[in-house]
Structure formats: structure tokens, C-alpha cells
């Protein structure tokens, strides 16, 4: 069974309430249940933190044993060299995910410190971005 760690960063605990015109109405917990049904043959572990160091600790913890990590680092995407270094420090491939199309938004969201350290990026498909990322991990050769 493939094991995938999903990591959500700051403010993503408020999905469903937070800026619904940008991020939709669904809570991540509800969506996660759907993902678990859809990918019943995989183990999906979920972690969310609003703190940069806790995200780094989770990357270190999962980063040598899982089959893939699906990471939405929220605004840390655009600021965190430390998270980028953590991604470079581990062996498990990381897929960067964004719910919104960051390239259609403010210019400060156009740059990601993480992308070049990641295996790939999925951006702008709403919550479905996570499903696409999990699918990608399941198809890793
Ligand atoms: C986000 C995009 C980021 O720019 C923003 O800071 C977020 C969410 C997304 O999923 O679209 O918190 O990562």
C-alpha cells in the first residue's frame, strides 16, 4: 500500500470559511474523507500547521519513509527558504499544490521558493489539485 503524507500550511485550517470566492466552501476534513474513499487502496495521512517550524519537522519526519508528500505551504510558499531547504534535505518526492491559480493573483504570489525543490507542481484546480497530486504520486515509477 502506498503511503502519502498531505501537509497543509498556514490558514488552510480555515478552508470552508476563508475567502470562499477564492478557496471554495468545503472544509478540508470533508474533502479528506472523499479522498480516502477515492483512494481506499492508499494510506493518506494528514497534517496541518500554521507554524513554519512544525511544517519543517513534519517534512523531516515523513521525508524518508513515505512514497510521496503533497504540500500546500500556503503563504510560506512565497517566503520560506527554510521549507525549500527541508524539501531538498529529504528523499521522498514532494508535490507542491495550490488550490487557487496563484499566477492569476497578486504578483507576490507568482514566485515560489519551493517549486524548484519539488518534483512537480499542481496549481489552480481548486480542491481537486490535491486529488491530482495524489494521483501523480500513485503513478510514480
Ligand atoms: C494557496 C495560495 C497562497 O498564495 C496563499 O497564501 C494560500 C493558499 C493556495 O492553495 O491557493 O494560503 O497556497
Considering only CA atoms, which of 114, 124, 123, 120 is closest in space to residue 137? 120
Ligand 1 centroid vs 98 CA: distance in angstroms?
A: 6
Q: What domain range includes position 90? A: 2-138
Considering only CA atoms, which of 67, 118, 65, 53 is closest in space to residue 88? 118
Query: Tens digits of per-residue pLDDT, 73-111?
Result: 999 999 999 999 999 999 999 999 999 999 999 999 999
What pLDDT sits at residue 141?
77
SS3 67: coil
Question: Is 31 designated active site?
Answer: no
Catalytic residue, chosen from 66, 98, 113, 130, is: 98
Instruction: Report in angstroms the alpha-carbon separations of 15 from 30, 48, 125, 126.
Output: 10, 11, 15, 11
* Length, in residues, of the chain: 141
Burial label for 28, CB within 10 Å (0-12, 13-18, 19+), is buried
For ligand 1, residues with CB inside 6 Å are 11, 72, 74-75, 77, 98-100, 102, 109
Query: Tens digits of per-residue pLDDT, 29-72?
Result: 999 999 999 999 999 999 999 999 999 999 999 999 999 999 99
Q: Are 97 and 133 in contact (CB under 8 A)?
A: yes
Distance of CA 14 to the CA centre of its chain: 15
Q: How many domains does the chain have?
A: 1
Q: Does pLDDT of 3 surpass 90?
A: yes
What pLDDT sits at residue 81?
98
Question: Is 111 designated active site?
Answer: no
CATH code of the domain in which 59 resides: 3.40.50.9100
Mutation choice for ligand 1 from 8, 73, 75, 129, CB with most ligand atoms inside 8 A = 75
Ligand 1 centroid vs 36 CA: distance in angstroms?
A: 23
Phi, psi values for residue 106, rounded to 5° = -55, 150
Query: Tens digits of per-residue pLDDT, 115-141?
Result: 999 999 999 999 999 999 999 999 987
Catalytic residue, chosen from 23, 66, 76, 130, is: 23
Amino acid at each position: 500500500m502506498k503511503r502519502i503524507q498531505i501537509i497543509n500550511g498556514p490558514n488552510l485550517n480555515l478552508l470552508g470559511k476563508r475567502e470562499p470566492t477564492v478557496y471554495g466552501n468545503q472544509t478540508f476534513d470533508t474533502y479528506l474523507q472523499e479522498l480516502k474513499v477515492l483512494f481506499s487502496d492508499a494510506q493518506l495521512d494528514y497534517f496541518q500547521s500554521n507554524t513554519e517550524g512544525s511544517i519543517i519537522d513534519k517534512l523531516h519526519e515523513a521525508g524518508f519513509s513515505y512514497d510521496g508528500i503533497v504540500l500546500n505551504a500556503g503563504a510560506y510558499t512565497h517566503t520560506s527558504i527554510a521549507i525549500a531547504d527541508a524539501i531538498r534535505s529529504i528523499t521522498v518526492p514532494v508535490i507542491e499544490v495550490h488550490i487557487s491559480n496563484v499566477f492569476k493573483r497578486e504578483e507576490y504570489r507568482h514566485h515560489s521558493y519551493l517549486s524548484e525543490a519539488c518534483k512537480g507542481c499542481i496549481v489552480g484546480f481548486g480542491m481537486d489539485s490535491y486529488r491530482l497530486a495524489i494521483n501523480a504520486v500513485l503513478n510514480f515509477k
